[in-house]
Structures are given as structure tokens and as C-alpha cells.
A and B are shown apart, each in its own frame.
Chain A
Amino acid sequence: MKVKKNYLRPIDFKHGRVDMTHGAGGRAAAQLIDELFAAAFDNEYLRQGHDGALLPQPKGRLVMATDGHVISPLFFPGGDIGCLSVHGTVNDVAMSGAWPLYLAASFIIEEGYPLADLKRIVESMASAARQAGVPIVTGDTKVVEKGKGDGVFISTTGVGVVPDGLLIDGRQARAGDAIVVSGTLGEHGVAVMSQRESLTFETAIKSDTAALHTLVQAMLQALPDPARLHVLRDPTRGGLATTLNEIARQSQVGMSLIEGDIPVLPEVAAACELLGLDPLYVANEGKLIAICSPEAADTLLAAMRAHPLGHGAARIGTVTADDNCFVQMATRFGGRRVVDWLSGEQLPRIC
């Protein structure tokens, strides 16, 4: 007698929902991985089918970064948790001046979550990874009972490589350095807030979520001496203000900003006014802060402005010698003030 080939009813991606069997490691889990995740992320390393991906050893020093994504809502103007989870980690790797090589992704999905939405998220993630040229080489899926999660949480880890001799980190800012941002601030946070149930307001503002590694490479290549680029950081949660305070503390320096030079879209400024937020504290997902030697600032700005993700780049201030590590700002109004750390939470679950 001939053994019948296993027949599997295709997953109903239109009306189906995630249930506990999808995370149980059995046939249903394997089918979801094959038909959704493996199909979308397809690459030679994933095709190995191991628990871990076997990767060639790259030249240079390794950079590794990890980021958990718990944003609410999962879909927002300009993006969704899928592409955000790729951009967030690619950017964390790139902020060491590294070129990102591989990503790993871990999903925690709530029982009952619509498969159609999960598919949208996974496909957005796959497309973001392809666009960035960084394959997702390994992953994991877990399902938690209804009420124990909030739709989907995605944790991604990235590995990249940075050439020997390049040292870009938060401890390298020196008095006199120029502070540069790659574009307008606050779009991501405001776009997400505009979608919150309790806060219905209409706006055309889209999240700026984007992978910044090509911008970083363009910046490094433009500088005759890449060592003049001292610090790179993406001002995500807590925005520009919090990120600059972090760098000031790490480098034991102060900062002096000029409010009138900080780029903010008028519609973001208006929305912040309405919500009682300060755009300097609102999250970004496709912007970076660069701190460089003053003589390199013009070259760096020109290189940034020539890149599509840096066309709005602007010099916003100067690093100062200050044992108190104050970030100060000359206000547009004509006064001075401290731009302090964010205290408490301004916007919960923004990334």
C-alpha cells in the first residue's frame, strides 16, 4: 500500500487567527514558519534550517545591538512595527560607524491576533530588510495567551562590522565639537500619537522610520579623516534632548544649542503645541545626531544634505567644557535655559 503524502490545509491568512498551537513547536508552528516567516525572509542562511545561522567570519570588529519593539498602535502613518523593528536595530548597529550584516528576529504574538495583520507586519519587515540589504538569518516565534500580550512584540538583534581604527561612541565628544542633526525632529512620535484611541486628531505627519546605515557610510566616506567624526546616535525615545544629555554625561562635557537652528516641521510644532509636548523630547526613528571636529562640520553637512535621508541636515550647536554636563539652549525668544533629561514618561510605547 502506498503511504499518502502529508496533506496540510493552507493557512487561512484572510480570516484566520493566531492560536496557541502556532507557538507550540508542533506541525502548526512549523507550517506558520514555512508559509509566512521563511517565505517572506528567504535567504541562504535561513534556508539552512538550523536553530542558529552559520555565518562567514567578516573582517574588522563586530558590532552587535538588540532592540525590543512594543509600539502601540502596531500600524501608524509612515510605517508599522515590522519595518520599525528592522530600522531600529540597523540604526543601532550603524551608530558605531558599522555596516550592518545580519539580523535575528524574535516574535511574541498574542493568541487571537489576526493572521492577515501578522502577514502584513512580516512582509513589511521582509521588505525593509531587503531594502536595507540586511538579511534576517534566524528567528523565533512564541505565542502567549490572550490578554498576556498586546498583539505583537518584536525583538531584533543585529550584527555589523566596523573597520579597525574607527572609534565612534558617546564618550568621544570634545569641547568645541559641532553638533549636527540629519533632519527635522519629532515626526515619529507625533505620527504614533495621532493614532492613539484617546487622542483622535487628524494630521498628515508620517513617521520618519528609515535605515540610516547608507547615510552613515556617505558621511564617513566624505570625511578625509573619518576619525573627525566623534559621536553618532539616533535620537529615538526621549528625543534629541535626552540623547544629547546621555552623550554629555558619557563624554563629561556640556552642550550649547541654538533653538532657532533646530529643524522642526511646522505641523509637528503645531501638533506638539496641541498635545503639550516639546518636540525636543519626541522620538525619531530615521534621524541621527553627529558630533564632529569643528573643521569637519561643513564637509559633513554637505555629505549629509546630498543623501536623501539627510537633506534637512543642520548644525544646531556646539559642545562646551562643563563639569556639570548641562545641555543649554539659547531660545528663539532671546533667553537661555537648560534642556534637561526627560523625567517620567512623555509618550509611552512609542517604539
Chain B
Amino acid sequence: MKYIDEFRDGDAARLIASKIAAEALPDQAYNFMEFCGGHTHAISRYGISGMLPANVRMIHGPGCPVCVLPIGRIDLAISLALDRGVMLCTYGDTMRVPASDSLSLIKAKARGGDIRMVYSAADALALAEQHPHREVVFFAIGFETTTPPTALVLREAKARQLTNFSVLCCHVLTPAAITHLLESAQARELGAIPIDGFIGPAHVSIIIGSQPYVHFARTYHKPVVITGFEPLDVMQGILMLVRQMNSGRAEVENEFSRVVTATGNLAAQKVMAQVFELRESFEWRGLGEVPASALKIRPEFAAWDAEVKFDLHYASVPDHKQCECGTILRGIKRPADCKLFGTVCTPESPMGSCMVSNEGACAAHYSYGRFQDIAVVAA
């Protein structure tokens, strides 16, 4: 595969690994958070953690769109399918997210709900056109990457006056979540935030650009390196973070310069601004309420807003008491520190958000990295 294999080359990886090992100061701790689930997945799938020196640690952040979806939001979607008889369309990853009453979308489907897995927002719009006598709802999730396609179908639905289509909007924003991580009460209480720098989002940054991260570098003095999702990108991003720390810099650097610009995709930003506005606050699974961290559909598009159309009211549902997702997502604890990890909480029956998708911190560790825990115990 031309243009992919080059970014997965073992020899190049070993070269960067040796540079990281040589340049990381032995008595310095390097705690870096990769915000995105895409990075978490790459780190686990290619075994990157094991190629780093012991003092360079990766903290898996909350950037997995299905993981941060709170139970109450899934409950709303399930009630639309089961109680209101709508045809509910959503991305495949969303199907297994655990909700109330031991349900999930896949279990609601087994109970007779008409729940369809789609590959794009446009597929959901097409289903609405094919089934004019059915109410079709697109359960829209994701960060800035998946938001522009949702904005486009909403604009399209309005232009065509397609009255049997609506969107249950759960789009969330990356910079707000990073701010929350850095500002959170827990972090302040503990005195020191255990995050020394960020591997910045790849695809999200294509849309929003590198500019929004300057604030984190300046205000919180945290280096940010925007990094691609291929494993060599990640290795290079880590090396750049090590170098920033060693030289006392806290800047926004762009490793993913082949696609990310300072200002991002202006056309996408424009269509998002036309269709969406900021929510005052949104609940994130594992993080709780985060102010100004999500989008809602503008009143001009209210006829296509499922929350308005079906008069939906959000109710927060707490996670399992012993679930440590909140502290794991903040880098305070590691997956194996959670009492539920690998016992009652597994990818087959996830209790908390981090175990839901392979991009989640716990599921990635469970599926790809568990043998490291054993080695630690044995040593």
C-alpha cells in the first residue's frame, strides 16, 4: 500500500525509538496525553508503549467519540427506536455502548427497534428519502471530524423540505474538553496535573486547524504536537514533545503538516457555524458536565432537530460507583488500577466509557496491552 506502508516502517520506527531513548533525560518523567482515540488505537495496535523508555508514559485521553457519550444520550436514542417507532440510524461503533436497563442499541434492535448501522450521514438522509412514511432519525455523534457531514445533511434536508428526517445531535468539541482536563477540580486538588504535554488531534485538527491549541501552550505551558494517526507519526510526535520539554519550550508544533494548516478547513467551519451553535453545557461520560463543550442545532433548523421534534428531555444517569474512567481519562490512574478492569468490566460487557470501544483507554489496554501487566507482576 503506497503512502501507508511508508508510515508503518519498522526500521524508521527503531531509529526514532533510539532517538527518544537517547534524548529523554533519565531523571525526568515525561507524561504525555494523546487526546484522540485514533492515537490510542495506533499506540496499542503497533505496540508503541513498549518501544518507549520507562520514563516516557502515554496517558490515553478522552478523545473516543463513543466512549464519552453519556448513558442518558443513548437512552434517548433507544427510546426513540423502541417507544416512538422511528428508524434510528447511527455509526457502527455506537451500537454496543451500554445504556440503562442493561440495554444498548444492539440489544434494542434485538427487541424489535428499527436501528440501522450507516457509514455516513448521507446514508441516513437517503434512507429517509426511500422511506417517506417513516420517521428517520440520525443519531449524530463525534468530534469536529464528523460534524461537517452532519451539518451538510441538515442543510440538505431543509433545502429539500424533507419532513420525515431529523438529527439527534451529540457532537462534542475537542478544545473545551482539553481545557476541562487542565482546569478540572480534581487536577487542582491533587496539586500537580500529571500531564506534561499533548499529542494533538489528527483529523480534528484538519477541520479546526492548529490555532485553537495555542491557548494551551501559552496559558498552561503545555507543549502540543499535532500528530497524524500512523504509528511513525506518533513516534515522531513523541520525539518532538521530548525535545520541547528538554529545551523548556511549550509551543504548538505540527507534525501532521501534510494535511493540517493553522486555520483548518474554513469551508467546513462555515457550514458548521450555519447549522450549529454552542450548548451551554454537555455531559461527557467519564468527565461529567463540561461547559460549552458540545453543539446543538440552531433554531432555524428546529424542524430537523430530533430533541425539539420529539420533545426529548435529557436525564443524567450515573456510571457504576467503582468505575474509575474519570480518573483514568485525566491520567491520574491507569486502567489496571481500576477494580472493575478485566473482572466485571471487559470489552464484552463494558461497565464504563473507557471499555466501550477499541479507541477507549481501557479497551485498548485490555485488547492489546494486558500482557504488560502480567510482566510487571512477575518481575
**Nearest-neighbor residue (CB-CB) of A344 within chain B:** B96
Q: Which residues of A contact B108 (CB under 8 A)?
A: none
Whether A266 sits at the interface, judged by CB under 8 Å, is yes
Chain B CB within 8 A of A270 CB? yes
Which chain B residues in 56-110 approach chain A with CB under 8 Å?
95-96, 106
Let me know if A332 is at the binding interface, CB within 8 A: yes
Q: Is the CB of B4 within 8 A of A333?
A: no
The answer to whether B1 and A337 have CB atoms under 8 Å apart is: no
Residues of B within 8 A of A332 (CB): 8, 10
Asked if residues A334 and B10 are in contact (CB atoms below 8 Å), the reply is yes
Tell whether A324 pairs with B374 under 8 Å between CB atoms, given A199-B119, A334-B51. Answer: yes
Mask: chain A, 312-351; 1 = CB below 8 Å from B; 0 = not: 0000000000001010101111111110100110000000
Contacts of A266 in B (CB 8 A): 1
Q: Does B45 reach chain A (CB closer than 8 Å)?
A: yes
A332 to B13, CA, bound (A): 10
Report which of B49, B50, B231, B368 forms a contact with A340, defined as CB distance below 8 A. B368
**Residue with the greatest number of chain A CB neighbours at <10 A, chosen from B17, B106, B117, B371:** B371
Q: How far is the CA of A269 from the CA of B3 in the complex (A)?
A: 13
Interface residues contributed by chain A, number (CB under 8 Å): 23
A131 within 8 A of B: no
Q: How far is the CA of A278 from the CA of B45 in the complex (A)?
A: 10
Known: A334-B47, A335-B51, A344-B96. A324 touches B371 (CB 8 A): yes
CB distance from A325 to the nearest CB of B (A): 11
Contact of A273 with B by CB under 8 A? yes
- Please tell me if the beta carbons of A336 and B1 are within 8 angstroms of each other in the complex: no
The answer to whether B50 touches A333, judged by C-beta atoms less than 8 angstroms apart, is: no
B311 within 8 A of A: no
B123 close to A334 (CB less than 8 A): no
C-alpha spacing A17/B9, complex, angstroms = 55
Contacts of B47 in A (CB 8 A): 330-331, 333-337
Asked whether A198 is an interface residue with its Cβ less than 8 Å from the other chain, the reply is yes
B187 within 8 A of A: no
> Looking across the interface, which residue of chain A has its beta carbon closest to that of B365?
A338
A198 partner residues in chain B, CB cutoff 8 A: 117-119, 123
User: Does B367 reach chain A (CB closer than 8 Å)?
Assistant: yes
With a 10 A CB-CB cut-off, give which of A266, A331, A337, A343 has the most chain B CB atoms.
A337
| Chain B positions 326 through 350: 1 when the CB is less than 8 Å from some CB of chain A, otherwise 0 | 0000000000000000000011100
Contact B14 A338 (CB under 8 A): no
For A260, the chain B residues whose CB sits under 8 A away are 10
Alpha-carbon separation in the docked complex, A338 to B375 (Å): 13
Q: Does the CB pair B371–A334 fall under 8 Å?
A: no
Distance (whole angstroms) from the CB of A202 to the closest CB of chain B? 16
CB-based contact B50/A335 at 8 Å: yes
A residues in contact (CB < 8 Å) with B: 198-199, 260, 266, 269-270, 273, 278, 324, 326, 328, 330-338, 340, 343-344
Q: List 17 extra interface pairs beyond A198-B123, A324-B370, A333-B10, CB under 8 A.
A: A273-B1, A278-B45, A324-B371, A326-B371, A328-B371, A331-B45, A331-B46, A332-B8, A333-B9, A333-B47, A334-B10, A336-B47, A337-B47, A340-B347, A340-B368, A343-B367, A344-B106
- 24 cross-chain CB contacts under 8 A: A198-B117, A198-B119, A273-B1, A324-B374, A328-B371, A331-B45, A333-B9, A333-B47, A333-B51, A333-B231, A334-B10, A334-B14, A335-B47, A335-B49, A337-B44, A337-B45, A338-B368, A338-B369, A338-B370, A338-B371, A340-B366, A343-B348, A344-B95, A344-B348
Binding site for A on B (CB under 8 A): 1, 4, 8-10, 13-14, 17, 44-51, 95-96, 106, 117-119, 123, 231, 346-348, 366-371, 374
